[in-house]
């Protein structure tokens, strides 16, 4: 097999209307339901992912780990697990709740995840991943997808990656993959370091798409702008953006026009904040804390005059007892008055 990093690649013709053409990555402690509701107001078409939810939490937990708002669609549930029967059970529950996709986490390298025998360590057990995907596909009609890395530890050859994809696609009948263009070190690096230290290898992912042209493939890792996303879309079916979409959510305001070709104006961030008010009031009336919602909105005005005052006022006041819409409106005026 050719070393993809040394292979010249030619563009592919991607489907402009594929629902997974642009997505926001599942991010633990970040992409909760409040975050997803907010991001949806910025882009109607971006595919949103939940935080990873383990099968154990869904089956045995006391909370409702499948809760979301109808306004979030299209929304995918990311599952963590390695027991085919448990995954199938959770997939059925998720489909019944109306999720648009089930995604299996084969990319997270944390020790806690490894101890539960899921995440990136599963790259070393391709047949088990295939069994998991097949078990879910057998009981649901919505797409079942896999998010993975390009390798783990010393198992990082292109041949290893192709064998993994080939097994999961062939025996598991998985038709769609999101590839984080970094390998993962299962020991020695923290999850944060695993997102930054292993080098990105975009050409390897491009080559993977060329070698598996019948599969839908999205690329993930280090993408910071819509211009970069468009460049990747010359070679891939989809692009997944993680930290940049959270820390600078304003980039989503142009996604529907730039990425999906919709004939719409870019979303006005001030209007988005005010569109959040009914949701915030509803959540506060049900016992939520304002800061748990507004923490996801702090980066909205990045690069705009007044952005620092917006962040500071919300950070200092949203967690106070009794904080309500008036706090958000005051913070918003610090930005809007400078436009």
| Rg value, the chain, Cα | 20
**Cα distances (Å, whole numbers) of residue 332 to 155, 282, 288:** 50, 20, 21
Tell me whether residue 108 is one of the annotated catalytic residues.
Answer: yes
Q: Which of 108, 121, 132, 174 is catalytic?
A: 108
Q: Tell me if residue 152 falls in helix, strand or coil.
A: strand
In Å, the largest CA–CA distance within the chain is 62
Those residues whose C-beta lies under 8 Å from the C-beta of residue 74, and which sit 6 or more positions away, are: 19, 45, 47, 48, 100, 101
- Which residues, in sequence order, are CB contacts of 295 under 8 Å at separation 6+? 318
The 10 Å Cβ neighbour count of residue 50 is: 25
Binding positions for FMN are 26-28, 78, 147, 180, 220-222, 242-243
Burial (Cβ within 10 Å: 0-12, 13-18, ≥19) of residue 162: middle
Tokens at 284, concatenated: 């506060």
Residue 188: cis peptide before it, omega within 30 degrees of 0: no
144 neighbors 91 (Cβ within 8 angstroms): yes
Angle at CA 69, nearest 5°, toward 65 and 75? 80
Q: From CA 184, how far away is CA 170, in angstroms rounded? A: 24
Binding residues: 26-28, 78, 147, 180, 220-222, 242-243
Active site residues: 108
């Amino acid at each position: 097999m050719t070393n993809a990093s040394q292979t010249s690649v030619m563009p592919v013709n991607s489907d402009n209307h594929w629902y997974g053409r642009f997505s926001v990555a599942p991010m633990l402690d970040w992409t909760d339901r409040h975050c997803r509701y907010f991001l949806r107001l910025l882009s109607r078409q971006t595919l949103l992912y939940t935080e990873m939810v383990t099968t154990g939490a869904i089956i045995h937990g006391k909370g409702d780990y499948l809760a979301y708002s109808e306004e979030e669609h299209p929304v995918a549930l990311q599952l963590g697990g390695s027991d085919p029967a448990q995954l199938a059970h959770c997939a059925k529950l998720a489909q019944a709740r109306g999720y648009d996709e089930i995604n299996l986490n084969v990319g997270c390298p944390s020790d806690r995840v490894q101890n539960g025998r899921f995440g990136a360590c599963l790259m070393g057990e391709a047949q088990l991943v295939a069994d998991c995907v097949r078990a879910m596909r057998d009981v649901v009609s919505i797409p079942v997808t896999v998010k993975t890395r390009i390798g783990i530890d010393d198992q990082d050859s292109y041949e290893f990656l192709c064998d993994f994809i080939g097994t999961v696609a062939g025996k598991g009948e998985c038709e769609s993959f999101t590839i984080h263009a970094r390998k993962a070190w299962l020991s020695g690096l923290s999850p944060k370091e695993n997102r930054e230290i292993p080098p990105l290898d975009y050409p390897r992912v491009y080559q993977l798409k060329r070698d598996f042209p019948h599969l839908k493939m999205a690329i993930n890792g280090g993408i910071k702008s819509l211009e970069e996303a468009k460049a990747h879309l010359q070679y891939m079916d989809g692009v997944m953006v993680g930290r940049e979409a959270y820390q600078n959510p304003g980039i989503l305001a142009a996604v529907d026009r730039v990425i999906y070709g919709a004939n719409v104006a870019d979303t006005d961030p001030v209007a988005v904040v005010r569109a959040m008010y009914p949701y915030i009031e509803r959540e506060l009336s049900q016992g939520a804390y304002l800061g748990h919602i507004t923490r996801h909105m702090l980066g909205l005005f990045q690069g705009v005059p007044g952005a620092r005052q917006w962040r500071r006022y919300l950070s200092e006041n949203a967690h106070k007892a009794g904080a309500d819409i008036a706090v958000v409106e005051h913070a918003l005026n610090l930005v809007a008055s400078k436009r």
